[in-house]
Structure 1
């Protein structure tokens, strides 16, 4: 297992991320009952564009001596505020601590660089994600509805003292 920066320079690298992202976010779309979520609309061009603002990290497993991208996280930073933009784990790797490891990695590294606050959003009905974020001390900052009646929750947590 390793967590590494995803350069996303080649189409092949971006397609590997997109394959993971689609598999992961299709599960969230089913949970929240809304299939039109933005990560399911991404393509090579939109990931290249996102890379200008977001840092992408990948969680790699080693199977049969081949590194496989099993999870990824992206975040942006404005001043001392870090926003987790994407959190994804391939369904074949659910419940193995991959999301937890990625979030902890971002929190640890960004706190070392002076981050004061972390923000993340997910579908309100995405109970596994809500429970994961709450286990890290994230608390509800706001709940809002987007058409057609889907509820999203934004969570926030201060940096550790």
Structure 2
């Protein structure tokens, strides 16, 4: 069995990589859309150009040549964590967040997820994030915001 590897990448420098990240992102956010009953998640509709233009640091989780997940962050905010649906419940999201937390310099780290996305909420809470507020970002589309103070 091949071990899961988490590495930093630059999708803006590799269109094929960007397309793979986007495919995992869309499949992951499609699951969240079903969980929260709303497909208006902005990152679900992101293009390759949008993904490459994002001013964030990137990680990918791979097993051999297969991309299982990706994550991005900026300063003290986790921008996204996505895991391919067939790879859920294997610790990939936790591994990506752990690596990001090691890379984030600030004392406070913020993240948001769909208010009704129970698996993501459990992950962040298990890592010590504290729920700070619910925010309606579009009519009827709610986020749960979290913060980790280290």
Question: Normalising TM by the smaller chain, what interval?
Answer: over 0.9
Instruction: Tell me if the contact between 2:40 and 2:141 (Cα under 8 Å) persists in the aligned partners.
Output: no
Which of 15, 24, 30 is residue 20 of structure 1 equivalent to? 24
Shift of 1:5: 1.0
Q: Which ranges of structure 1 fall in alignment gaps of 5 or more residues? A: none
Aligned residues: 146
State the SS of the aligned residue for 1:125: coil
Task: Name the residue aligned to 1:153.
Answer: 144
In the other structure, the counterpart of 2:121 is 130
Unaligned runs of 5+ in 2: none
* Pairwise CA distance, 1:13: 1.1
Q: Please report the TM-score for the alignment, with normalisation by the length of structure 2.
A: 0.93
The equivalent residue for 1:43 is: 47
Pick from 59, 62, 66 the counterpart of residue 60 of structure 1.
62
Deviation per CA, 1:97-136: give whole Å up to 9, x if none. 00011101111232xxx42111000011000000000001
Partner of 1:70: 68
Give the alignment's TM-score, normalised by structure 1.
0.87
Which residue of the other structure, out of 82, 93, 98, is the alignment partner of 1:88?
82
**Higher alpha-carbon Rg:** 1
Task: Describe the superposition over 1:51-95 as per-residue Cα deviations: whole angstroms up to 9, x where unpaired.
Answer: xx2001001112xxxx21101110000xxxx10001100001000
Q: Supply the RMSD in Å over aligned alpha carbons.
A: 1.1
Distance in 1 (CA, whole Å) between partners of 2:103 and 2:40 is 32
